[in-house]
Amino acid sequence: DTAVSQTPKYLVTQMGNDKSIKCEQNLGHDTMYWYKQDSKKFLKIMFSYNNKELIINETVPNRFSPKSPDKAHLNLHINSLELGDSAVYFCASSQDMRREGANVLTFGAGSRLTVL
């Protein structure tokens, strides 16, 4: 069973469109994240949710809207897509960072978004 699963794996779309990427984790983790990886492989955090509550919003344009219907799911909706949004988006999860002990991030396989 895949621990952190994202869909779709590939997404090709036109500028100006709206698209969503879905993420689900079956690890029982409390915290979920979205990271963006650019063409130089740089990984940057976008959002973090803990038990459905937004914890981190890293000055991401408000065209990006995360939604967490429950603690096992964190979806990413992107409005009015731009060329610069082309990247690989990774979902990840971890135990609650406030818990005692270290909390390793477990990543999904990534969703490659190409905006034409």
Contact set with another protein (CB under 8 A): 4, 31, 33, 35, 40-45, 48, 50, 55-56, 90, 92, 97-98, 102-110
Which lies closer to another protein via its Cβ, residue 45 or residue 72?
45
Q: What is the DSSP string of 61-92?
A: -TTEEEEEEETTEEEEEE-S--GGG-EEEEEE
Closest approach, Cβ 92 to another protein, in A, equals 8
Which lies closer to another protein via its Cβ, residue 75 or residue 94?
94
Structure tokens at 26: 């079956």
Which lies closer to another protein via its Cβ, residue 67 or residue 112?
112
Closest approach, Cβ 100 to another protein, in A, equals 9
Closest approach, Cβ 37 to another protein, in A, equals 9
- For 67-87, letters b (16+ CB in 10 Å) and e give ebeebbbbbbebeebeeebbb
